[in-house]
Structure 1
């Protein structure tokens, strides 16, 4: 018995020594991205409950904190400052108050915030104030201050959890100048993401010697705008080509993604994108094994193994955090008061979905107001909402976010007749199929994009499907790309001349090169766009639309019927088929 007891004691001593030589740390890394003002479980635009939102993410994170305590790392990946009246009100109306987007991030105790392109779009006055109001650092290694040559915000942060050192590096898509006028990002430039990541990875590894490296990138998976200098969506490229990242958390493209890829050294990198509107979060469970080893003559714990499992949990079934809601009661009341102000009355109901099939009341109402506000000859506009409705009856401030989604300015540009036609050619090439038979699709659809939040069943992005007012034209879908658009006349009956200069109203996204319709389509060099702009509005386009509706009082929106798809014997039945595929049967 004595021998048995001694053996057991020896085994226990050995095991406890072995345990003392080794320990395990568990972390949970949670990322939100492209929240777009979805803070509260109420849609202030459509006056109805809202799925997901940070009110539910808050309860999800609180549950994790019960188990993981301080080992929950919470990261926000940008595009938080635009999308709901919530944001608009605190960005541009009640500018004296703290921005609600800072209050929400602070309440939830985020560890870091990355910059998104829609955050930059709010302008220096808004985002510089927001940065000052945040309790956590804003990250953007490739956002360079042109005066100092250093990052405009912090490039990375270091977090310590139970002896584990974690580096978080933030970056933003460098395609900002393709969408936004320079005054919004004055004093800043945006570096290629791969180049910037290589530079900062070297600094982080040499200076910080972290155990875990996380990338938080407001840039999509791959593709987007590609120039000789950069790619818009380069997150996977960075993950593959820049060794050192254990995980890359990204966003911007509003498309869920959960894959573990191998980098150029053959090491795994967990890549997660939770898409948009806080319906899902990116959740990485990290298990780290540390063993005691001699380092420079001293025994210390060294990471010997890392296991990371990524997931994209749906938070729409999570309970609403009632404490969160109570904390924001004053802001919610202010926003409700703002959106419920009546500005006019609509005689008839209009639908954005009709914009894809021809001249329609929804898109033409915006085009006509652009012409009226600017006194331009021609106007371009694309449907910014896939399927929104303005109902007959009273129209409120909240409805204006359905009528016009983004905070774009209004521009007037000088374009030749030929450039106008080429601009439209590229738009319709992105938009419609080349029909070879009556049974073909009218629209350029893609079954792979039916569920995603950006293409919504189209092959291309529908916010680049510009149609025009001020000219009468036909789009022959049997003709090859580049030859579909035939401009018949100006809508006032005057002849249209391809050699003549015209004043054209566009939104600032388009006027700055967004969608490449003016550059790749019309053939205008990117660096010449600025010289073509002869008018820039001081306020956003929605503000002027709202002002115009208030002056009109009662609105009778009708289609201009200034353009159509031909041959109609083919296009009308094809339009009906494609309508049912995208939206179901008309009621």
Structure 2
């Protein structure tokens, strides 16, 4: 009887009349992005406990792995190598041991990483070393080796889970040349995201025949053209215009997002962005129904999950305790003292001791005629008294070089006009805002607060005397009265100007869109560049001086004062609350 049954089943199999075999596969996909050195639940800059961190992400992931086992896919979306002294220490101080970020990500079981612009900012020696230390591929489909024409990193990764084939395609914003000195990425180029996605989607479909396609893009969702040729923040455009993606995981803009859009083929694409520092993660559930090994139904849903609810992974903290101690020792070194407390808060309303200290140092280091600088951190303070290495990350947030550039008086003026256009409202009455605020704030975008534009593009100048009339329209606000020593300021004269490398490469477009210098011509204006980041030289300067007396230079102001003084008080309270008496 048994033999007869087997014979009948065999006949039915040959005839193809047996019921189809169906099964269901559940996947969990977790994305981190813009961790910015927040590996531990401790802020080494401000010396206090911190939200987010890889330690909390690990606790979250381990809890989910109890349910999903190997069907949990963990992805990182870049900007992990810059921000906290933890990253800086293993980028530039301890370059012998395996990079801490790689060791932690290996320990956590990441399946793939992606390059971010601040990872590129660390320089090829650092990011290539880190990628080499990772036990998973770091992706970059649009990062091209100019010598070979091939991708410098793997363009995509193929993962198989329960016979389901998942392809992860990684890309970075192509606007790197607008922000970063070419010596940091020499031998590479950054191609357009949409063109790159079209190329690789065709290859992926034909060669891999995937069941699920995930795009992991270090780019935000508000697309814009930068430097006249780089399509920045094109993630949503790629998701919409290049059919084939089921999920697009974003980063870069530090703003939370979770939504579905319809692409041009009429298919739904899940769009997610977990903002920054690991406070939340993108948490995606995928359910696939398979019939005879082929996907016949697919459900994709996502939520942004808070990591604080899962605590801190003790296993993680114990494993990386020695590295924690090494970083703590590094940031605890005293380098000098300040006679006054300085804060970025007053910098939005006029000349301030915080920004003018940066100006003073830039002028002394470079020997330039004029300095341009902005508040790189939205809201930060350095207290009077002893100054430690940790405070240097407060004073200067990014690993920018210092450039000295040739700019005409008119180009300086026009760059300032654009800066204050980004910065200030046009006041039509005494009751209006002085500062330019956005109508609606995106959750998670704390580093922009309520400003319409990024405050790291709010350049002021030193060594010139000028006023900013906020009742005037865009392009007519700035009046330069003289040089700081009383000599005339000449619109036609060429001045040596100290700027950070972000600005000098076209970052914020103050020198391109504002001053009218083409992106390609900017490099011809650079007279000199430091070979180390500006923070290094600031640290050296303070160590040599030992005691710093920070003060506002009072070389510029907003007018008319009868309007701006009460407006500044209102806007200060709007941003920071009432001043304590």
Q: Return the TM-score normalized by structure 2.
A: 0.95
Query: Is structure 2 residue 506 aligned with structure 1 residue 510?
Result: no
Q: Aligned-pair distance for 1:500?
A: 0.9
Q: Which residue of 1 aligns with 2:10?
A: none
Whether the 8 Å contact between 1:409 and 1:507 is mirrored in structure 2 is yes
Q: Distance in 1 between matches of 2:442 and 2:561?
A: 27
Query: Is structure 2 residue 516 aligned with structure 1 residue 523?
Result: yes
Q: Which residue of 2 aligns with 1:536?
A: 529
Aligned pair partner of 1:346 in 338, 345, 354:
338
Q: Distance in 2 between matches of 1:383 and 1:205?
A: 46
Aligned pair partner of 1:309 in 301, 306, 325:
301
RMSD of aligned residue pairs (Cα, Å): 1.2
Q: Could you say what secondary structure the match of 1:284 adopts?
A: strand
Q: Which residue of 2 aligns with 1:385?
A: 377
Q: Distance in 1 between matches of 2:474 and 2:20?
A: 70
| Shift in CA distance, 503/264, structure 1 to aligned 2, threshold 3 Å | same
Q: Which residue of 1 aligns with 2:107?
A: 107
After superposition, the C-alpha distances for 1:128-168 in whole angstroms (9 at most, x for unaligned) are 11111110001111111111111110000110000101011
| Shift in CA distance, 202/229, structure 1 to aligned 2, threshold 3 Å | farther
Whether the 8 Å contact between 1:472 and 1:491 is mirrored in structure 2 is yes
Q: Could you say what secondary structure the match of 1:150 adopts?
A: coil
After superposition, the C-alpha distances for 1:521-555 in whole angstroms (9 at most, x for unaligned) are 01111111111111100110011111111111111
Q: Which residue of 2 aligns with 1:569?
A: 562
Q: Distance in 2 between matches of 1:316 and 1:18?
A: 50
Q: Could you say what secondary structure the match of 2:141 adopts?
A: coil
Whether the 8 Å contact between 1:253 and 1:454 is mirrored in structure 2 is no
Whether the 8 Å contact between 1:26 and 1:71 is mirrored in structure 2 is yes
Q: Distance in 1 between matches of 2:96 and 2:463?
A: 41
| Shift in CA distance, 22/475, structure 1 to aligned 2, threshold 3 Å | same
Query: Is structure 2 residue 486 aligned with structure 1 residue 493?
Result: yes
Q: Which residue of 2 aligns with 1:555?
A: 548
After superposition, the C-alpha distances for 1:158-179 in whole angstroms (9 at most, x for unaligned) are 1000010101100000000110
Query: Is structure 2 residue 432 aligned with structure 1 residue 440?
Result: yes
Q: Distance in 2 between matches of 1:19 and 1:57?
A: 43
Whether the 8 Å contact between 2:227 and 2:506 is mirrored in structure 1 is no
Structure 1, unaligned stretches of length 5 or more?
1-16, 293-300
After superposition, the C-alpha distances for 1:39-92 in whole angstroms (9 at most, x for unaligned) are 100000000001011101101100111111100000000000000000111111
Q: Could you say what secondary structure the match of 1:483 adopts?
A: coil
Q: Which residue of 1 aligns with 2:9?
A: none
Whether the 8 Å contact between 2:470 and 2:558 is mirrored in structure 1 is yes
Query: Is structure 2 residue 441 aligned with structure 1 residue 449?
Result: yes
Q: Aligned-pair distance for 1:222?
A: 2.3
Q: Which residue of 1 aligns with 2:365?
A: 373
Q: Aligned-pair distance for 1:18?
A: 8.9
Q: Could you say what secondary structure the match of 1:144 adopts?
A: strand
Whether the 8 Å contact between 2:78 and 2:119 is mirrored in structure 1 is yes
Q: Which residue of 1 aligns with 2:13?
A: none
Q: Aligned-pair distance for 1:453?
A: 2.9
| Shift in CA distance, 572/450, structure 1 to aligned 2, threshold 3 Å | farther
Q: Distance in 1 between matches of 2:339 and 2:371?
A: 24
Q: Which residue of 2 aligns with 1:144?
A: 144
Q: Which residue of 1 aligns with 2:62?
A: 62
After superposition, the C-alpha distances for 1:190-236 in whole angstroms (9 at most, x for unaligned) are 11111100110000000010100000100111224446644110100
Q: Distance in 2 between matches of 1:317 and 1:359?
A: 42
Whether the 8 Å contact between 1:450 and 1:458 is mirrored in structure 2 is no
Q: Distance in 1 between matches of 2:120 and 2:446?
A: 21
Whether the 8 Å contact between 2:178 and 2:227 is mirrored in structure 1 is no
Runs of 4+ in 1 over 3 A off after TM superposition: 17-20, 224-230
Q: Could you say what secondary structure the match of 1:23 adopts?
A: strand
Query: Is structure 2 residue 352 aligned with structure 1 residue 360?
Result: yes
Whether the 8 Å contact between 1:363 and 1:382 is mirrored in structure 2 is yes
Q: Could you say what secondary structure the match of 2:308 adopts?
A: coil
Q: Could you say what secondary structure the match of 1:28 adopts?
A: strand
Whether the 8 Å contact between 2:401 and 2:500 is mirrored in structure 1 is yes
Q: Return the TM-score normalized by structure 1.
A: 0.95
Q: Distance in 2 between matches of 1:261 and 1:507?
A: 38
Q: Distance in 1 between matches of 2:519 and 2:21?
A: 61
Q: Could you say what secondary structure the match of 1:317 adopts?
A: helix
Q: Aligned-pair distance for 1:19?
A: 8.9
Whether the 8 Å contact between 1:381 and 1:466 is mirrored in structure 2 is yes
Q: Which residue of 2 aligns with 1:13?
A: none
Whether the 8 Å contact between 1:222 and 1:237 is mirrored in structure 2 is no
Q: Distance in 2 between matches of 1:535 and 1:229?
A: 25
Q: Could you say what secondary structure the match of 2:309 adopts?
A: coil
Q: Which residue of 1 aligns with 2:415?
A: 423
Query: Is structure 2 residue 29 aligned with structure 1 residue 34?
Result: no
Q: Which residue of 1 aligns with 2:71?
A: 71
Aligned pair partner of 1:406 in 398, 405, 410:
398
Q: Distance in 1 between matches of 2:311 and 2:19?
A: 39
Whether the 8 Å contact between 1:56 and 1:321 is mirrored in structure 2 is yes
Whether the 8 Å contact between 1:415 and 1:532 is mirrored in structure 2 is yes
Q: Distance in 2 between matches of 1:209 and 1:79?
A: 31
Whether the 8 Å contact between 2:41 and 2:50 is mirrored in structure 1 is yes
Aligned residues: 563
Q: Could you say what secondary structure the match of 1:494 adopts?
A: coil
Aligned pair partner of 1:318 in 305, 310, 317:
310
Whether the 8 Å contact between 1:255 and 1:454 is mirrored in structure 2 is no
